[in-house]
């Protein structure tokens, strides 16, 4: 095989992928020559298509039809993308507008996943950063009544977690007067913030161990109760979750999925399946990871492609953003959109630190 024929076959494969993604119709040799100006005859293109078929890169769905890419063909195409489709100025402005301003983490996640679904016309998935990898920015204690307060933990990523703290006086003891309770809240809050300033949320329990011994005896019960609640917040932070948008786009691509759309929707309901998928993609060496069809370990995604990348400056947070759609996908445009939104999200989170 000459270099020239190999290069031509690569062009033919690229043209088949682009046309099939655009039209969803099997691609014939005559149409390829006309649309892509290959400067060879349809007979030569048919020979190239026959070789690509022998290599498992394309397939003829039925007799007298054109060819369509296989998973292997899409992989060959993706691995040799030379230039991504850049986002338009309007799309870049839309991303910047959606993610600008003083918004909290929940808003960033919600806006980002919806925006990515709109940009790609696919299903967008966004994983929350693990709170345990975040750092404590501030703890607030708010008095709610006699022997009761609200503990609020705020992280450097703008995430806010809160719990009620009930302080039961020792057996036989009376509740502290309101003024004394307010003074105790102020002292405990001050000490807690001294101990937790910049600490990993994962280390909250360790940092607050023995908190009551560093405060006046009158504050001991309040200090113990606050420490337990904050440790409970930190322990609960290990539960990961994802947010999705654009599932209605699956209906528009129903022909691509066929009967497999049911298992796919069921997999969406099991967040643990999506979390495992994203975790496995985090192990890929590429900045943007692409899994195509049968490359996805879970059988529910066997007719799907998933494109994902990490976001945030903390590489240990495990946070990823992804697009899921049929294998017949605009790979250059989708990769560019995923990468751009992830960058804007990272910048938005950095501004909150």
CB atoms near residue 22 (< 10 Å): 12
pTM value is 0.74
Q: State the Cα–Cα distance between residues 265 and 176, nearest whole angstrom.
A: 55
Residue 172: the pLDDT is: 54
Q: What is the assigned CATH class of domain 133-236?
A: alpha beta
What would the two tokens of residue 49 be?
A: 């298509």
What would the two tokens of residue 118 be?
A: 């709109």
One digit per residue, the tens of pLDDT, for the chain of length 353 reads 565 588 889 999 999 999 999 988 999 888 888 888 788 888 888 899 999 999 999 998 887 778 999 999 999 999 999 888 778 888 888 888 887 766 777 888 899 999 999 999 999 999 887 665 678 999 999 999 888 899 999 888 777 889 999 987 665 556 667 788 899 999 999 999 999 998 988 889 999 999 999 999 989 999 999 999 999 888 765 556 789 999 888 777 667 776 667 777 777 777 788 888 888 888 787 889 999 999 988 888 888 999 999 987 654 456 899 999 999 999 999 999 999 999 988 888 777 66
CATH topology of domain 3-79: Arc Repressor Mutant, subunit A (1.10.10)
DSSP structure string for 27-50: BPHHHHHHHHT-SS-HHHHHHHHH
Helices (H), the chain: 3-23, 29-36, 42-54, 71-79, 89-98, 105-120, 178-196, 204-207, 220-236, 249-252, 254-257, 261-269, 271-282, 331-352
Residue 298: the pLDDT is: 82
Crossing angle for the helix pair 89-98 and 331-352, to the nearest 10 degrees: 30
Of 340, 349, 308, residue with least CA distance to 92: 340
Architecture of domain 89-129+240-352: 2-Layer Sandwich (3.30)
Of 150, 145, 151, 149, residue with least CA distance to 177: 145
Q: State the Cα–Cα distance between residues 41 and 12, nearest whole angstrom.
A: 12
Which residue do the tokens 């003829």 mark?
Answer: 60
Q: State the Cα–Cα distance between residues 107 and 110, nearest whole angstrom.
A: 5
Residue 146: the pLDDT is: 81
Q: Which residues contact 127 (CB under 8 A, 6 or more apart)?
A: 240, 241, 242, 274, 275, 278, 318, 319, 320, 321, 322
Q: State the Cα–Cα distance between residues 186 and 188, nearest whole angstrom.
A: 6
Q: Where are the domains of the chain?
A: 3-79, 89-129+240-352, 133-236
Task: Phi first, then psi: give them for residue 247, nearest 5 degrees.
Answer: -65, -25
CA dihedral 336, 325, 304, 49 (to 10 degrees): -70
Of 339, 336, 280, 344, residue with least CA distance to 310: 339
Residue 225: the pLDDT is: 94
Contact at 8 Å (CB) between 306 and 322?
A: yes
**CA 68, 74, 76: angle at the middle one, nearest 5?**
120
Residue 318: the pLDDT is: 61
N-terminal to C-terminal alpha carbon distance within the chain: 57
């Amino acid at each position: 095989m000459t270099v020239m024929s190999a290069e031509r076959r690569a062009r033919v494969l690229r043209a088949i992928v682009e046309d099939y993604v655009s039209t969803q119709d099997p691609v014939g040799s005559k149409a390829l020559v006309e649309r892509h100006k290959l400067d060879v005859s349809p007979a030569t293109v048919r020979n190239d298509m026959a070789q690509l078929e022998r290599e498992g890169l394309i397939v003829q769905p039925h007799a007298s039809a054109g060819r369509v890419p296989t998973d292997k063909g899409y992989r060959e195409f993706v691995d040799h993308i030379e230039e991504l489709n850049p986002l338009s100025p309007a799309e870049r402005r839309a991303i910047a507008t959606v993610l600008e301003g003083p918004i909290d983490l929940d808003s960033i996640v919600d806006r980002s996943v919806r925006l990515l679904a709109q940009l790609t016309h696919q299903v967008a998935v966004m994983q929350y950063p693990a709170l345990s990898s975040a750092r404590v920015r501030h703890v607030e204690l708010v008095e709610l009544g006699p022997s009761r307060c609200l503990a609020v933990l705020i992280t450097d990523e703008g995430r806010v977690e809160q719990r009620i703290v009930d302080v039961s006086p020792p057996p036989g003891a009376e509740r502290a007067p309101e003024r004394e309770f307010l003074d105790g809240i102020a002292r405990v809050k001050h000490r807690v913030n001294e101990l937790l300033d910049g600490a990993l949320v994962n280390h909250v329990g360790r940092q607050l161990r023995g908190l009551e011994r560093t405060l006046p005896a009158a504050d001991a019960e309040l200090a113990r109760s606050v420490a337990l609640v904050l440790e409970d917040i930190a322990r609960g932070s290990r539960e990961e979750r994802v947010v999705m948008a654009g599932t209605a786009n699956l209906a528009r691509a129903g022909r691509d999925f066929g009967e497999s759309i049911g298992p796919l929707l069921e997999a969406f309901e099991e967040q643990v399946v999506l979390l495992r998928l994203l975790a496995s993609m985090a192990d890929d060496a590429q900045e943007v990871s692409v899994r195509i069809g049968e490359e996805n370990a879970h059988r529910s995604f066997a007719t799907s492609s998933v494109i994902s990348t990490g976001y945030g400056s903390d590489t240990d947070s495990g946070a990823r953003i992804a697009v899921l759609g049929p294998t017949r996908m605009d790979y250059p445009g989708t990769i560019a959109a995923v990468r751009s939104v992830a960058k804007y999200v990272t910048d938005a989170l950095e501004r909150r630190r």
